Amino acid sequence: MLQVITQLIGGIGLFLLGMSLMTDSLKAMAGESLRQWLSRFTGSSFKAMLSGIGFTLVVQSSTATTLATIGFVSAGVLTFAQAIGVVIGANIGTTSTGWMVALLGLKFSIASFALPMIGVGALMKLLGKDRLALLGLAFAGFGLIFFGIDVLQLAMASFAERVDLSVWSNNSFSTRLILVLVGLVMTILLQSSSAAVTATLAALASQAIDVQQAMALVIGQNIGTVATAILAAIGATTSAKRTAAVHVIFNVVTAVFAFFILMPAMLWMLTHWAWAATWDNTIIIAAFHTAFSLMGAMIFMPFIPQLQSVISKLIPEKEVETIRYLDESLFSMPSLAIATAQDSICHCLADMYRLLIKAGRGEIIGAMINTKELDHVLLKVDEYLKKMPVPQAQADQQRLIELMRLIVYTRVVREDLQHTANLDILRAHFDTEDLKEFIGIIEKLVLYFRQTPVQKIPVQDVENLERFSAQIKIHQPAIRQNIVAQSATSQVKAADALDLIIAQRWLERLAKHTAKMAILLKEDTSTI
């Protein structure tokens, strides 16, 4: 019996390791393209659901899709209503694992193919770089999945010979409920509904359990998958909590309908329809898993606006807008974590520059502007990046480097923004055309910084800012001479003349630092 238990643990471990390798590498390969894809193909709730199905089919993890969706909602790429559709689609897409196991893993002896796949994948990882190395990890993970399934099937066959589970095969309500709870606990312990469903299918194929028991277990396993979402939402952002709430409500309500309606209906069909009785048991369970996820979609899709309204009221937004993007659950998707950190900085900068514009126009006093909010955002981003693992993909590493450069420039600009009282000095003594031109250019930048997600700045606008920065530097000597001349003829007091020179120099410095930051964020960054 000890050998059987060891085989079970080993088989599950191999499956989980394979899923982890494959999912992590595919997510890293998807990178920023995932963000663009979802923002493009989620225009309606139905399209959002299809996108959720598609992405989950690719990465073979509904949890990965859910966590990515949390980030998209936080960053404003998706509305909460669209996120609901993606989560529903993810629950449908995750049933593909059951079909893969039922049609391939349990039908053929593929252990002989799995080991070469692991070997080839390992070589690709060791000898390749960037995407080839990630593809190698995905390949090795795929091999480990099927090798784990083969070990699981052998263990379950031995388990069936030693343990009699016929006591749990009666049709009573209490027995079914106990099996649902067993399935729930399996998923919580394994932290993967795919692994739990795979173990169930292996047990069914080995005749350790029957179809009715398998159905009840799968219902419980589908409920258990919400544990990961709940854990991810603890202490997380409001968007994370709302998305986790959708996940919980969808899975629990769908499980109730599956337990009381779909399971009895399918058992009746298998008993009374001769053609249905000829189906393979593992195919029946895979079809049952997909059927009750589809049933859940049909129940919830027409009521997405109402569900959105209820959850938004139950879980109101409490975070400051500029830092509500920073969600640690996004660390599994480095490109998203980096993008949300950049959005937080840019949105806060946009708020600061908007105050600068008002002060430049005399709508507010420049001396009243402070950098406390920007300091707070920079501190939160620093804390966020310290916790973020180093990304594996070279493209993500490059994005991280660009983000670090943006932070450096932001800190420099922050030092300039501490002296916005210079705007009052410039406006009080003469109507400088330089200031007016600078305000006009900054207004355009703010439009891009305020968009969600933050948009790249057009090359023409960046060039205008660079041109202004160079122009004001050239004009500085003439401006200083003019101020000194006015002071010599008593048109301007000596102290005021000094303040004007300092203020003019401050404007030149702010323009130069803003231009450097804009260069980093322009549309074509290949020349940076």
CA gap 134, 22 in Å, rounded: 9
pLDDT at 51: 84
pLDDT at 153: 66
* 295 pLDDT above the threshold of 90: yes
Instruction: Give the Cα-Cα-Cα angle 296, 39, 520 (nearest 5 degrees).
Output: 150
pLDDT at 66: 72
CA gap 185, 190 in Å, rounded: 8
* 17 pLDDT above the threshold of 60: yes
Of residues 519, 310, 299, the one with CA closest to residue 409: 519
The residue among 11 and 295 whose pLDDT is bigger is 295
* 256 pLDDT above the threshold of 90: yes
CA gap 73, 456 in Å, rounded: 20
* Residue 81 near residue 49 (C-beta atoms within 8 A): no
**Least confident range of 288-292, 325-329, 355-359:** 325-329
The residue among 274 and 467 whose pLDDT is bigger is 467
pLDDT at 288: 92
* 387 pLDDT above the threshold of 60: yes
Alpha helices by DSSP H, 234-278: 238-257, 263-272, 274-277
Neighbours of 474 (CB within 10 A): 9
Q: pLDDT band for position 527 (50/70/90)?
A: very low
* 407 pLDDT above the threshold of 80: yes
pLDDT at 408: 92
- Mean local confidence (pLDDT), 180-205: 81
CA gap 154, 150 in Å, rounded: 6
pLDDT at 528: 43
pLDDT above 90 coverage of the chain, percent: 9
Q: pLDDT band for position 432 (50/70/90)?
A: low
Identify any residues that bridge with 522 across adjacent strands, giving them in sequence order.
457
Of residues 282, 279, 277, the one with CA closest to residue 106: 282
Token pair 């993007």 is found at 325
**Least confident range of 103-107, 176-180, 489-493:** 103-107
**Least confident range of 148-162, 186-200, 426-440:** 148-162
The residue among 285 and 333 whose pLDDT is bigger is 285
* Residue 56 near residue 89 (C-beta atoms within 8 A): yes
Residue type, 359: A
When mean pLDDT is compared over 26-35, 273-282, 420-429, 508-517, the highest value belongs to 508-517
* Residue 137 near residue 125 (C-beta atoms within 8 A): yes
Identify any residues that bridge with 457 across adjacent strands, giving them in sequence order.
522
Q: Indicate the angle between helix axes 226-233 and 62-75, nearest 10 degrees.
A: 30
Kindly give, in sequence order, each residue whose CB lies less than 8 Å from that of residue 207, ignoring residues fewer than 6 positions away: 160
DSSP code string of 179-244: HHHHHHHHHHHHT-HHHHHHHHHHHHHTTSS-HHHHHHHHHHHHHHTHHHHHHHHTT--HHHHHHH
pLDDT at 167: 53
Each residue's pLDDT tens digit, 193-217: 777 888 888 888 877 788 888 899 9
**Least confident range of 184-198, 237-251, 413-427:** 184-198
The residue among 32 and 317 whose pLDDT is bigger is 317
CA gap 243, 230 in Å, rounded: 10
When mean pLDDT is compared over 24-33, 101-110, 324-333, the highest value belongs to 324-333
Residue type, 108: F
How far is residue 47 from each of residues 38, 40, 188, 247, 423, measured CA to CA in Å?
9, 10, 31, 18, 49
Kindly give, in sequence order, each residue whose CB lies less than 8 Å from that of residue 394, ignoring residues fewer than 6 positions away: 129, 130
pLDDT at 237: 67
* Residue 143 near residue 114 (C-beta atoms within 8 A): yes
* 494 pLDDT above the threshold of 50: yes
Q: List the structure tokens of 173.
A: 């309500």
Each residue's pLDDT tens digit, 258-268: 999 999 998 88
CATH 1.20.58.220 intervals, the chain: 327-520
* 253 pLDDT above the threshold of 90: yes
Q: Which CATH class is domain 327-520?
A: mainly alpha
Q: What is the mean pLDDT of the chain?
A: 80
CA gap 296, 287 in Å, rounded: 14
**Least confident range of 99-108, 175-184, 340-349:** 99-108
Q: pLDDT band for position 329 (50/70/90)?
A: low
- Mean local confidence (pLDDT), 380-392: 85
pLDDT at 219: 92
pLDDT at 29: 67
- Mean local confidence (pLDDT), 97-122: 74
* 251 pLDDT above the threshold of 50: yes
- Mean local confidence (pLDDT), 154-160: 64
